[in-house]
Structure 1
Amino acid sequence: MIMRIRVIAAGLVVGTLALTGCMPGTTSAGTDRSVKKTESNGHSETPAKGVPAAEEDDGGKGDVKIDSCAVDDAMSWPAAKLTITNHSAKKSNYLITVEFVDSKGTRLGTGAAAENDLAPKQKAKATAQGVEKVDGKISCKVASVTRYASP
């Protein structure tokens, strides 16, 4: 039963991303879009010469705040409740990966969340849900954020 629920949950995440158009790097015609992604190491692309570091775009990572991080009592699946605030000047789509780690820093799994058509300064609530069974206390960390302008 639990395995069946995991497969369904994973399918829902993949299906939702495919249906909502959250496929970074492509348009519906399959052409490339410029996407800036912040990797899990926290480093983003080097700013152009003459651009002060304070004005550098963080690729959306600063737009995501973790509100809570917990393991569900019934299913033992980890989840992070998120608040996404669009700090860009354009309506944007977001694809977020959160990693779940134990007290020693060992990754126990990941979860994904997506939000589309978020207007500038608009906030949205989302949940990054893991589908692997986890025991004990966990921490949540935003591993990556892909933000790109809505079509």
Structure 2
Amino acid sequence: MSDNFPPPPPEQPQPEHLPPAGAPPERPSPWAAPPGPPRKQHTGLIVTLAVGGGLVVAGAVVALVYSAMSSVEDSIALPPRSEAPYSEPYEEEPAPEPTATEPDVKKDVTIIGCTRDPSIGWQSAKVKVVNGSSTTANYTIMMEFLDEDGVKVAEGGAGVVALEPGESAVRKAQGVGEVPRGTTCRISDIWRTPSESAD
């Protein structure tokens, strides 16, 4: 026998196990490793696509809101602008002033006394009223009491009711509060109004 042996034949690749014709393909086992080398992940591309898609969606929402707002504004009917020229604001007419005192009413009242009570120092005036009108009238007389310098130091008043035309009456207008000696009396106002008893 010879020591020289022929070299062994090269190894033949094992044929892949193929399913018989017409058989459904085999499903890989969920626990089996994925075939072939792992693929590279494209994280940057995915992030870019996600951000771009978000911007497109946001732009569409803004456009939709703007369109809706425009349609709402168009549907609101504003009142037409007045073409009338500008005018000053309306002002209410002032209330009519009380009827002025009749010129002759001052002739109806005369001061016939002006005294100071020595015990309490209060001043009073005695007035005579003569109805110079043609109707029965009421009188209201207001008095001022002035010191020697002409400064008002007190006030008083008197009234006459239903005084017939041509008749007279004497009334006392009493001041309130102590006044100095030498105080004088002066009529400050007189009102004459028709009396209800004249009806």
* TM range, smaller chain: 0.5 to 0.7
Which structure features the higher share of helix residues?
2
Question: Conserved in 1, the CA contact under 8 Å of 2:139 and 2:191?
Answer: yes
1:105 equivalenced with 2:150 (yes/no): yes
Letter in 2 for 1:116: V
Letter in 1 for 2:184: S
Counterpart of 2:185 (choices 137, 140, 145) is 140
Query: How many equivalent pairs are there?
Result: 100
SS at match of 2:107: helix
Counterpart of 2:123 (choices 78, 82, 87) is 78
Pairwise CA RMSD: 1.6
Question: Conserved in 2, the CA contact under 8 Å of 1:64 and 1:84?
Answer: yes
Using the alignment, how far apart are the partners of 1:115 and 1:128 within structure 2?
A: 11
Measured after TM superposition, the shift of residue 136 of structure 1 is: 1.2
Counterpart of 1:125 (choices 170, 175, 179) is 170
Q: Where do 5+ consecutive residues of structure 2 fail to align? A: 1-96
Which structure features the higher share of strand residues?
1
Using the alignment, how far apart are the partners of 1:35 and 1:118 within structure 2?
A: 22
**1:114/1:37 Cα in 2 relative to 1: closer, same or farther (>3 Å)?**
farther
Using the alignment, how far apart are the partners of 1:37 and 1:109 within structure 2?
A: 25
Measured after TM superposition, the shift of residue 88 of structure 1 is: 0.5
SS at match of 1:75: coil
SS at match of 1:60: helix
Q: Runs of at least 4 residues of structure 1 off by over 6 A?
A: none
Measured after TM superposition, the shift of residue 36 of structure 1 is: 3.8
Measured after TM superposition, the shift of residue 97 of structure 1 is: 0.2
Larger Rg: 2
Letter in 2 for 1:105: G
Q: TM-score, normalised by structure 1?
A: 0.62
Letter in 2 for 1:69: C
Q: TM-score, normalised by structure 2?
A: 0.48
Measured after TM superposition, the shift of residue 62 of structure 1 is: 1.6
Using the alignment, how far apart are the partners of 2:139 and 2:152 within structure 1?
A: 23
Question: Conserved in 2, the CA contact under 8 Å of 1:96 and 1:142?
Answer: yes
Using the alignment, how far apart are the partners of 2:168 and 2:123 within structure 1?
A: 23
**1:37/1:73 Cα in 2 relative to 1: closer, same or farther (>3 Å)?**
farther
Aligned runs of 1:2-151 on 2, under 5 Å?
Answer: 36-38=99-101, 57-58=102-103, 60-151=105-196
Letter in 2 for 1:86: N
Of 130-139 and 120-129, deviating more is: 130-139
